[in-house]
Amino acid sequence: MKPAPFIHHRPRTIEEAVRILAEVAPDDGRVLAGGQSLVPIMAFRMARPPHLVDINEIEGLDRLVVQDDRLHIGACVRHAAFGKGAIEGPTGDFLAKVMRKIAHHPIRTRGTFCGSLAHADPASEWCAVAAVLDAVLVARSHEGTREIRARDFFEAVMTTALRADEILVEAQLPLLPAGTRTGFCEFSRRAGDFAIAMVLVAWRIENDCIVEARFGIGGAEAFPRRLTDVEACLNGARPEQSTWDEAAEMAAAALDPLEDAVTSGDYRRDLVRSLSRQAFEQACA
Ligand SMILES: Cc1cc2nc3c(=O)[nH]c(=O)nc-3n(C[C@H](O)[C@H](O)[C@H](O)COP(=O)(O)OP(=O)(O)OC[C@H]3O[C@@H](n4cnc5c(N)ncnc54)[C@H](O)[C@@H]3O)c2cc1C
């Protein structure tokens, strides 16, 4: 199918973009980034925005830099920008590992990191990364700029704290310290499909014990989150099978799973238990 008619705005500056968005947002005008979620939805006529504010020609929104111990990811940075070696250190390794699981190559060359966050599909890998790394999200409107913590950003399935007249201009990820080991495991029915559940873990080992553990889940609940009880269980523990078993049980028990016609809550709970063990082993390898 083809989308319903719309007016395509192509602002050259962020000031122009937020001014236009302020005018068209009350009529369901939307931001267009990579178009890899919005355009299919429009083609199915599940959305009929009469105005699209295309941000792709705004200079500087493709900025991907490390500054002040944070990775700054501009609104037009594509998934594919996070390939192996693109960003140094454990944060870069972690993002490269995650990126390989997002959709297929053509989608990764157009879809954006910030677009994924704004879209807030429960199964989005970048949303889970933002939650587990405590991202800071920078929103800009005609009224000014505000920062939103990831834990306050995701509110429900495909619902965020972003207002209709705001553009997510940048996501900032705190850098993982040197020596951090990471694990990322997800399950989807076919390669490239949206995941039914995913687990993300990061920690350092000091004196044979786990320290600074981060543990998060995505795809299994309405929106991704860190599980701080699981992190407390991991911190100070030895990296061994009994620790994995205890922490994986805790994660499964804490889940408030999504259910749909083909995937029960119990199935997602089992997946989280099993993916947790795999992610722990990966982070130790
Ligand atoms: C076949 C297929 C498989 C896919 N598989 C996966 C997958 O496995 N994992 C995954 O995470 N994603 C997957 N995706 C989605 C893909 O990653 C999208 O790129 C992503 O969800 C949205 O990014 P985008 O830049 O394309 O946003 P768009 O499609 O342009 O926009 C999506 C929504 O976010 C809003 N928006 C976008 N950018 C901003 C911004 N900067 N500020 C405010 N609002 C904004 C738009 O208005 C729109 O409502 C898949 C898509 C397809 C078609």
**116 alpha carbon to ligand 1 midpoint, in Å?**
4
Whether residues 218 and 263 share a domain: the answer is yes
Among 28, 32, 38, 165, the mutation site with the greatest number of ligand 1 atoms within 8 A of its Cβ is 38
Ligand 1 atom with the smallest distance to the CA of 118 is: 34
**Co-location of 84 and 113 in the same domain:** yes
Residue 234 and residue 267 share a domain: yes
Q: Domain containing 39 — which CATH number?
A: 3.30.43.10
Q: Provide the domain limits for residue 262.
A: 181-284
Q: Identify whether 59 is part of a domain.
A: no
Q: Is residue 2 part of a domain?
A: no
pLDDT of residue 276: 98
Q: Ligand 1 pocket check: which of 116, 127, 187 to mutate, most ligand atoms within 8 Å of Cβ?
A: 116
The residue ranges of the chain whose pLDDT is under 70 are none
Residue 193 lies in a domain: yes
Q: Which of 148, 173, 198 is the last residue of a domain?
A: 173
Same domain, 166 and 187: no
- Residue 211 inside a domain? The answer is yes
Instruction: Please check whether residues 145 and 95 belong to one and the same domain.
Output: yes
Using CB atoms within 10 A of its CB, is residue 285 exposed (0-12), middle (13-18) or buried (19+)?
exposed
Asked if 79 and 163 sit in the same domain, the reply is yes
Ligand 1: residue of 82, 104, 119 to mutate (most ligand atoms within 8 A of CB) is 119
pLDDT at 191: 85
Q: Please give the C-alpha separations between residue 98 and each of 28, 48, 83, 199, in angstroms, as whole numbers.
A: 32, 32, 10, 11
Number of domains in the chain: 3
Question: Which residue is closest in CA terms to ligand 1's atom 11?
Answer: 124
CA of 275 from ligand 1 middle (Å) equals 25
Q: How many other CB atoms are there within 10 angstroms of residue 232's CB atom?
A: 14
Distance 241 CA to ligand 1 centre (A): 38
pLDDT tens, residue by residue, 238-256: 999 999 999 999 999 999 9
Those residues whose C-beta lies under 8 Å from the C-beta of residue 39, and which sit 6 or more positions away, are 3, 32
Of the three residues 173, 206, 234, the one that is the final residue of a domain is: 173
In a domain, 108, yes or no: yes
Q: How many beta carbons lie within 10 A of that of residue 69, not counting itself?
A: 9
Q: With respect to residue 241, please indicate whether it lies within any of the assigned structural domains.
A: yes
Q: CA 139 to CA 146: how far, in whole Å?
A: 5
- 31 domain-assigned: yes
| Domain end (from 173, 202, 217) | 173
Q: Give the Å distance between the CA of 122 and the centre of ligand 1.
A: 12
Here the CATH number for the domain that contains residue 255 is: 3.30.390.50
| Entry pTM | 0.97
Could you give phi then psi for residue 221, rounded to 5 degrees? -125, 180
| Exposure of 235 in the CB half-sphere (CA atoms within 13 A) | 11
**Which residues contact ligand 1 via a Cβ below 6 A?**
30-38, 40, 75, 102-103, 107, 111-112, 114-116, 118-119, 121, 124-126, 162, 167-168, 194
Query: For residue 36, is it within any domain?
Result: yes
Q: Are strands 64-67 and 70-74 parallel, antiparallel or unpaired?
A: antiparallel
- Report which protein residue has its CA nearest ligand 1's atom 36: 115
